[in-house]
């Protein structure tokens, strides 16, 4: 029984991308960062799976889709431990960690209601000021936001 | 050529700040110069601010430029729902320079990115007001003969006062010692204290506004303690008069001490201080004219 489950978890993709080690409470933020709500490909989402590293984890598998590196790196905002596996012909051909970029375009909503970005049809820009504790600063209103306060738009 | 805008005082390096002070003193010696002849400047005040607008418009007029603009957004198409972007794109077509104030934070940075002409930020909400900082620096420089190694004592609302935050950042180039005098509710925010530590700037915090503190100071920078900043009005009633400067408190202060205030003042400087030669806040406002003339020439790339 157990063995079957394990097989189900790892063996499903022929080609595509697996995003593993997502903290369970951030799983749907990752879905939203990658815009998977509107992705027509077949997608498998697992959540609250046991993880030695982070307690409970989520996992996302997207068939026949290979994301741009800069898009995947945006995940690091909410899931800094996330791991990317690229699958070709059932084989993992690339395995890497996400890493936070210096500047994030879009994705984050500024928490300051008086910020211009919340009042004009425009893209937000955030500078990552602390990559270890994850702190970002709005390019426009200059307000700093820490990891737990980051809102994804 | 990408125009050079002024959105935040941190856009300027130490050398640029020192250059601007020199330019400002040249304008003080000779404020009427036809440098902007043939140029049109827009003053877009989406939020009213009489003092800042008149100062900028005087600066342009004394340099021979012409002005278009508005002092109240309710009479413009932004009240019909036009975006800031569209207003800025349209005005960019007409003028050589945009000077703007907006109630939204970050509005000036955004405008500077879309405009084809330079933008000077004349205040964006609680965020930045760099021409105020330049005139503060010029006032300090003029009265002390230097910006270096000074004891700067800031009093009042150090939590929300954007002028003290910008002044702190700008002075960080010049090896200052800061004294922060404020009630608990309005203390200097932690991020600025961390900034001081990172730049090896000594600072001391006081909750009592004592003569001891005043007597060490070269610059006493007073700010208004505003009632609406307090969650507990009892607390406001307790502290509202504690951070008031009276003439008698200046008796043993240094000869070179000057009292600065961004104005308007309410009751934080008592009227008996006005006639003291150490009171400098009205001249400080006048210095705004020269500082703004210098800023205008700088962003337009005009050598003076």
pLDDT at A2 over 70: no
Q: In which band, very low, low, confident or very high, does the pLDDT at B156 lie, cut at 50, 70 and 90?
A: very high
Token pair recorded at residue B125: 């909400």
Is residue B43 within 8 angstroms of chain A, CB to CB? no
Task: Report, as an integer, the average pLDDT of B273-301.
Answer: 97
Same domain? For B83 and B123 the reply is yes
- Is B41 a member of any domain? yes
Answer yes or no: do A140 and B191 touch at CB < 8 A: no
- Is B295 a member of any domain? no
Helices (H), A53-112: 69-73
Q: In which band, very low, low, confident or very high, does the pLDDT at A140 lie, cut at 50, 70 and 90?
A: very high
Token pair recorded at residue B201: 């700037």
Same domain? For B200 and B214 the reply is yes
- B109 catalytic per annotation: no
SS3 state at A53: coil
Complex-level ipTM: 0.88
- Is B160 a member of any domain? yes
Same domain? For B140 and B272 the reply is yes
**pLDDT, tens only, B186-217:** 999 998 999 999 999 999 999 999 999 999 99
Report chain B residues whose CB lies below 8 A from the CB of A138: 106
Same domain? For B45 and B147 the reply is no
pLDDT at A3 over 80: no
Same domain? For B98 and B53 the reply is yes
Q: In which band, very low, low, confident or very high, does the pLDDT at A70 lie, cut at 50, 70 and 90?
A: confident
**Would the pTM of this model clear 0.80, i.e. be above it?**
yes
- Residue B88 has a pLDDT of 97
**pLDDT, tens only, B111-151:** 999 999 999 999 999 899 999 999 999 999 999 999 999 99
Report chain A residues whose CB lies below 8 A from the CB of B88: none
Same domain? For B240 and B226 the reply is yes
Stronger pLDDT, A7 or A92, i.e. the higher one: A92
Name A36's Cβ contacts closer than 8 Å, sequence gap at least 6: A43, A60, A62
- Torsion B79-B85-B86-B92 (CA) sign: positive
- Residue B3 has a pLDDT of 57
Å between A148 CA and nearest CA of chain B: 18
- Residue B191 has a pLDDT of 86
- Is B290 a member of any domain? no
Domain range for B69: 31-128
A14 vs B55: CA distance, rounded Å: 69
Task: Report, as an integer, the average pLDDT of B243-271.
Answer: 95
Task: Please check whether residue A121 is in contact with residue B114, taking contact to mean a CB–CB distance below 8 angstroms.
Answer: no
Mean pLDDT of chain A: 89
- B80 catalytic per annotation: yes
Q: What is the CATH number of the domain that holds B138?
A: 3.40.50.1370
A83 vs B258: CA distance, rounded Å: 60
- Residue A133 has a pLDDT of 87
Name A44's Cβ contacts closer than 8 Å, sequence gap at least 6: A12, A59, A60, A61
Answer yes or no: do B83 and A143 touch at CB < 8 A: no
Same domain? For B268 and B150 the reply is yes
pLDDT at B181 over 70: yes
- Residue B60 has a pLDDT of 98
Same domain? For B114 and B194 the reply is no
What domains sit in chain A, N to C, each tagged with a CATH number? 2-97 (3.30.70.140), 103-152 (2.30.30.20)
When divided into structural domains, chain B yields a total of 2
Among residues of chain B, what percentage have pLDDT more than 70?
99
Same domain? For B165 and B271 the reply is yes
Is residue B109 within 8 angstroms of chain A, CB to CB? yes
B14 vs B35: CA distance, rounded Å: 25
3-state SS of chain B is CCCCCECCHHHCCHHHHHHHHHHHHHHHHCCCCHHHCCCEEEEEECCCCHHHHHHHHHHHHHCCCEEEEECCHHHCHHHHCCCHHHHHHHHHCCCCEEEEEECCECHHHHHHHHCCCCEEEEEECCCCCHHHHHHHHHHHHHHHCCCCCCEEEEECCCCCCHHHHHHHHHHHHHCCEEEEECCHHHCCCHHHHHHHHHCCCCEEEECCCCHHHHHHCCEEEECCCCHHHCCCHHHHHHHCCCCCECHHHHCCCCCCCEEECCCCCCCCECHHHCCCCCECHHHHHHHHHHHHHHHHHHHCCCCC
**pLDDT, tens only, B57-99:** 999 999 999 999 999 888 777 777 889 999 999 999 999 999 9
B62 vs B56: CA distance, rounded Å: 10
């Amino acid at each position: 029984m157990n063995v079957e489950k394990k097989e189900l978890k790892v063996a499903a993709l022929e080609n595509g991308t697996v995003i593993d080690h997502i903290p369970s409470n951030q799983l749907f933020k990752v879905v939203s960062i990658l815009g998977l709500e509107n992705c027509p490909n077949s997608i498998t989402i697992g959540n609250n799976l046991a993880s030695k590293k982070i307690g409970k984890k989520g996992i996302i598998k997207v068939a026949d889709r290979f994301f741009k590196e800069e898009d995947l790196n945006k995940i690091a905002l909410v899931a800094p431990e996330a791991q990317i596996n690229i699958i070709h012909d059932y084989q993992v051909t690339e395995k890497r960690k996400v890493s936070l970029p210096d500047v994030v375009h879009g994705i984050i909503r500024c928490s300051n209601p008086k910020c211009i970005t919340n009042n004009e049809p425009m893209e937000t820009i955030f500078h990552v000021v602390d990559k270890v504790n994850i702190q970002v600063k709005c390019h426009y209103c200059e307000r700093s936001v820490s990891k737990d306060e980051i809102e994804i738009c | 050529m990408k125009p050079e805008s002024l959105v935040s005082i941190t856009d300027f390096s130490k050398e640029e700040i020192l250059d601007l002070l020199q330019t400002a003193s040249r304008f003080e010696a000779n404020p009427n110069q036809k440098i902007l002849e043939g140029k049109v400047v827009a003053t877009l005040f989406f939020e009213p601010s009489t003092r800042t607008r008149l100062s900028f418009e005087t600066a342009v007029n004394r340099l021979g430029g012409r002005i278009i603009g508005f002092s109240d957004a309710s009479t413009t198409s932004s009240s019909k729902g036009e975006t800031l972007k569209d207003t800025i794109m349209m005005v960019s077509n007409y003028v050589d320079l945009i000077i703007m104030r907006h109630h939204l934070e970050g509005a000036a940075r955004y405008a500077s990115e879309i405009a084809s002409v330079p933008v000077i930020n004349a205040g964006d909400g609680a965020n930045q007001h760099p021409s105020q900082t330049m005139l503060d620096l010029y006032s300090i420089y003029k009265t002390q003969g230097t910006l270096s190694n000074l004891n700067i004592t800031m009093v009042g609302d150090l939590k929300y006062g954007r002028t003290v935050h910008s002044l702190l950042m700008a002075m960080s180039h010049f090896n200052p010692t800061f004294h922060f005098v404020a009630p608990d509710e309005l203390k200097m925010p932690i991020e600025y204290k961390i900034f001081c530590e990172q730049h090896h700037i000594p600072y001391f915090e006081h909750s009592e506004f004592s003569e001891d503190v005043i007597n060490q100071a070269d610059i006493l920078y007073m700010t208004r303690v505003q009632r609406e900043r307090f969650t507990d009005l009892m607390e406001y009633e307790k502290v509202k008069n504690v951070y008031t400067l009276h003439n008698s408190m200046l008796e043993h202060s240094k000869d070179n001490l000057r009292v600065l205030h961004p104005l308007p003042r309410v009751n934080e400087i008592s009227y008996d201080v006005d006639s003291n030669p150490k009171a400098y806040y009205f001249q400080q406002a006048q210095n705004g004219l020269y500082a703004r003339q210098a800023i205008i020439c700088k962003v337009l790339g005009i050598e003076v």
